């Protein structure tokens, strides 16, 4: 495998963000390259037009059909606008500034510093806060908190030590910190803390307190009949109480312990132009790099042999990089176009119209190796009117139908989700029932396959979905 081919393969599998970094490093180390926002791409336009052709018809199953898809490069480089914060000259645009996320530990320590406490109570508070898990629950018992507090105080530890009542008193104060429900020792206490913070005239507050303090196990078991009998409530009343409990946070710490979001830059944009779907590369994801003509023109004018050899080597590497980038863009456009051709009904009607598609199908259609298709669909994203999807999303296995056709597993998952959303919450659909309903639509899916799809979509089992209303 030649170095040029290795480079082309590496660039092909990079995401848009990784590709930008790769290009930036190449520009910084190779004087023959420069970033350019207004470079000429006539040759690439002509190449892409030659690939797509002027004939809108394609051969599908031996028949000529109108695909209704445009593949255009457009004037991507010239129409792109910089998205640099503060481009309008507003130096006080504080909303665009990146702020480091606040963790639960930082948030609680900030509140603790504003709370007047004795030195002993403060040491206990530090021990409690440092013993919280990511949910905001206390994971240490009283003896462990006493030992940790005593170690922190050292010589300042009172002669009579720290009593359990002192730990309990400090814990009670911390349980009134934000977020509500923090520093609880279990789920029942967490929900109880949040309920007690509500106004006393909140409807169903007392019944909700009774439920979380005495009957939470029945809720976990979905034993609604026993729950109504023990609390003396009707169906409608119990529904109101459960609704109030569900409005609480079972893990208050997670609202602050959130990781930074991973931003996705779509590589391909799909848009509707009349009756046709247009496929084009995202100009914002394309690296704007070109040859530095000034340095390139100096290659044959250098008298020093060492300098001439170095500059020729850099020029060759620059050309290889530009060629690899062009190849990457062409391949990405070909694959995206083929995906849109096959999944045309998805863009028209949604997930339930998704067709089966595997890598080998695309590889055969565009005369490329299957491994190349795998690389070009990894970490590449498509912006569509239905949202942003990774290219791999459009690939799925097939399931046979009674009519002798094939149905995509993605379409089956969409149908299962639709059936569950429309079910009677009093009598949720079991996996067997879902399998039967799919069979009525001509789709042969076993119960365990339904269960696998349901779990993949994080839909609870029927027993866990049962509700009063």
At which residue do the structure tokens 């002993």 appear? Answer: 120
C-beta atoms surrounding 279 within 10 Å: 24
Give the contacts of 297 (CB within 8 A, at least 6 positions apart). none
C-beta atoms surrounding 77 within 10 Å: 18
Helix axes 3-12, 370-377, angle to 10 degrees: 50
Query: Residue 170 corresponds to which tokens in the numbers above?
Result: 């400090």
Q: Determine the pLDDT at residue 286.
A: 74
DSSP assignment letter at 160: T
DSSP assignment letter at 155: G
Question: DSSP of 245-285, one letter per residue?
Answer: HHTS-S-GGGGT--PPPPP---SEEEEEETTEEEEEE-TTT
Task: Of 265, 331, 367, 370, give the one whose Cα is nearest residue 11.
Answer: 331
Domain 398-465 is classified in which CATH homologous superfamily?
A: Homeodomain-like (1.10.10.60)
Q: Determine the pLDDT at residue 213.
A: 92
Contact 148, 101 (CB under 8 A): no
Exposed e or buried b for every residue in 148-159, given b needs 16+ CB within 10 A? bbbebbeeebee
C-beta atoms surrounding 91 within 10 Å: 6
Question: DSSP of 185-211, one letter per residue?
Answer: SSHHHHHHHHHHTS-TTSTTHHHHHHH
Q: Determine the pLDDT at residue 74.
A: 44
**DSSP element (H, E) containing 469:** none
What is the C-alpha separation between 281 and 268, in angstroms, rounded?
A: 4
Residue extents of the structural domains in the chain: 3-73+265-393, 104-255, 398-465
What is the C-alpha separation between 310 and 69, in angstroms, rounded?
A: 46
Burial label for 210, CB within 10 Å (0-12, 13-18, 19+), is middle
Q: Is 26 left (phi over 0), alpha (psi -120 to 50) or beta?
A: alpha
Q: Give the pLDDT means over successive 10-residue stretches in the chain (469 positions).
A: 77 84 87 70 40 40 43 42 43 48 86 92 93 92 92 86 92 93 94 93 93 90 86 90 92 78 83 89 81 80 80 87 88 92 89 87 89 88 91 80 69 89 86 88 85 88 73
Give the contacts of 374 (CB within 8 A, at least 6 positions apart). 359
Could you tell me the end-to-end alpha-carbon distance of the chain, in angstroms, rounded to an integer?
64
What is the C-alpha separation between 134 and 47, in angstroms, rounded?
A: 54
Contact 219, 227 (CB under 8 A): yes
């Amino acid at each position: 495998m030649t170095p040029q081919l290795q480079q082309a393969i590496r660039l092909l599998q990079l995401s848009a963000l990784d590709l930008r970094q790769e290009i930036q490093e190449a520009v910084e180390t190779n004087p023959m390259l420069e970033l350019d926002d207004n470079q000429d791409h006539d040759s690439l336009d002509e190449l892409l037009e030659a690939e797509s052709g002027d004939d809108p018809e394609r051969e599908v199953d031996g028949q000529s059909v109108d695909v209704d898809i445009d593949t255009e490069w457009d004037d991507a480089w010239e129409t792109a606008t910089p998205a640099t914060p503060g481009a309008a000259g507003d130096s006080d645009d504080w909303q665009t500034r990146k702020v480091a996320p606040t963790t639960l530990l930082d948030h609680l320590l900030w509140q603790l510093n504003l709370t007047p406490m004795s030195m002993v109570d403060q040491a206990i508070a530090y021990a409690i806060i440092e013993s919280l898990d990511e949910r905001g629950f206390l994971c240490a018992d009283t003896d462990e908190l006493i030992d940790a507090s005593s170690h922190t105080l050292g010589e300042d530890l009172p002669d009579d030590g720290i009593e359990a009542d002192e730990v309990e008193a400090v814990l009670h104060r911390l349980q009134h910190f934000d977020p509500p429900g923090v520093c609880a020792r279990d789920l029942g206490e967490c929900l109880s803390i949040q309920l007690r913070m509500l106004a006393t005239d909140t409807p169903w507050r007392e019944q909700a307190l009774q439920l979380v303090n005495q009957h939470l196990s029945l809720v976990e078991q979905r034993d609604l009949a026993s729950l109504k009998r023990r609390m003396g409530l009707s169906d409608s009343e119990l529904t109101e109480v459960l609704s109030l409990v569900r409005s609480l946070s079972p893990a208050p710490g997670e609202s602050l312990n959130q990781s930074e979001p991973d931003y996705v830059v779509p590589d391909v944009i799909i848009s509707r132009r009349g009756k046709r779907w247009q496929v084009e590369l995202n100009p914002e994801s394309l690296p704007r790099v070109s040859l530095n003509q000034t340095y390139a023109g100096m290659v044959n004018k250098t008298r020093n042999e060492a300098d001439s050899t170095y500059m020729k080597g850099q020029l060759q590497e620059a050309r290889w990089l530009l060629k690899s980038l062009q190849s990457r863009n062409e391949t990405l456009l070909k694959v995206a176009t083929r995906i849109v051709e096959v999944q045309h009904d998805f863009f028209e009607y949604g997930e339930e119209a998704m067709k089966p598609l595997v890598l080998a199908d695309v590889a055969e259609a565009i005369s490329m190796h299957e491994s190349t298709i795998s690389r070009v669909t990894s970490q590449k994203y498509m912006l569509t009117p239905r949202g942003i999807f990774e290219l791999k999303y459009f690939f799925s296995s097939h399931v046979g139908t009674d009519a002798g056709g094939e149905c995509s597993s993605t379409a089956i998952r969409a149908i299962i989700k639709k059936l569950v959303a429309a079910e009677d919450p009093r009598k949720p659909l079991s996996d067997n029932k879902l399998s039967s309903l799919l069979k009525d639509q001509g789709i042969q899916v076993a119960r365990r396959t339904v269960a696998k799809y349901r779990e993949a979509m994080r839909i609870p089992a029927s027993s866990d979905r049962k509700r009063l209303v």
